[in-house]
Amino acid sequence: MPWLQLKLTANRSGTASIEYALMKIGAVSVTLEDNADQPILEPALGETPLWDQVKITGLFDANIDTAAIATSLQQRLSQPLTHLQWEQLEDKDWEREWMSNFHPICCGERLWICPSWCAPPQPTKVNILLDPGLAFGTGTHPTTFLCMQWLDKQLLDDLELIDYGCGSGILGIAALKLGARRVIGVDIDPQALIATADNAQRNQLADNAMPVFLPDNAPEASADIVLANILAGPLAELAPILTNLTRPGGKLCLSGILDVQAQAVMDAYAKDFDFEPIAQKEEWVRLVGRKIR
């Protein structure tokens, strides 16, 4: 199905009214992007920050009257609009487009992440067959790659793990295929639990190898290793929970953290963990600590 995109720019204060007006006049979606290379590293809980200068894109059916839409939009707004730009969006099978750009990834000496629709390039290695669905975690992001790289080097035989924020299930499934006895997956998103269960089945794991739970329903049992690839803010807030879930002498592997946030996250766990040197890929880091009490 062909589409048209209406692109315009606005300052922070005018963005909400333009977004609302676009939806009222028939846009099927509205996208907001930074228009001035202004980074927003991580919002606080409950915040939805915007850039000072925002690029706004409204998506419309290609059969609409563009002149009428532009007039209707202007009539709904108090400020005059300039530099309206219409573009035709190429008609593609976007699912196939995404699939064509997800390739097998080597994450160490043993581990490979392979799209479920591809043959593993090295069948004798430990291959994770993955279809993330709507959940986060394909291995292409530095945070996931850093965690997979760490797991590749661990002796996991007969250990129990918790994957807190399991997303697609990629970390827990990797741990099981590397010898772990059991992994508990936890996520706040029901879609992630579905994706994890599907990927566990796709990798021919036993039905009870990786049970998944929403946080309120998760068992309170501790584990030899706790994995959490989330974001710095939630990781700091979850410190009491993740600490209690890690057995004395056990390991905690944290990622989803920018290099400038690493010290703040370590400080939240400092009294209970000794941390190894920080591992970094691009601007992202991985923290690994051993529980000392």
Residue 60 CA: distances (Å) to CA of 21, 30, 55, 64, 271: 13, 10, 16, 7, 54
Instruction: Determine if residue 144 is labeled as part of a ligand binding site.
Output: yes
Residue 260 CA: distances (Å) to CA of 44, 144, 232, 234, 242: 16, 18, 10, 16, 22
In this structure, are residues 134 and 198 in contact, taking their beta carbons and an 8 Å threshold?
no
C-alpha–C-alpha distance, residues 247 and 77, integer Å = 58
Strands 3-11 and 53-61: antiparallel
In this structure, are residues 148 and 111 in contact, taking their beta carbons and an 8 Å threshold?
yes
Residue 246 CA: distances (Å) to CA of 163, 226, 281: 11, 6, 25
C-alpha–C-alpha distance, residues 183 and 246, integer Å = 13
Instruction: Determine if residue 198 is labeled as part of a ligand binding site.
Output: no
Strands 182-186 and 212-213: parallel
Secondary structure class of 137 (helix, strand, coil): coil
Both structure tokens of 199: 């990927």
C-alpha–C-alpha distance, residues 291 and 293, integer Å = 6
Let me know the angle formed at the C-alpha of 260 by 258 and 263, rounded to the nearest 5 degrees.
100
Binding positions are 144, 165, 187, 229
Binding positions for S-adenosyl-L-methionine are 144, 165, 187, 229
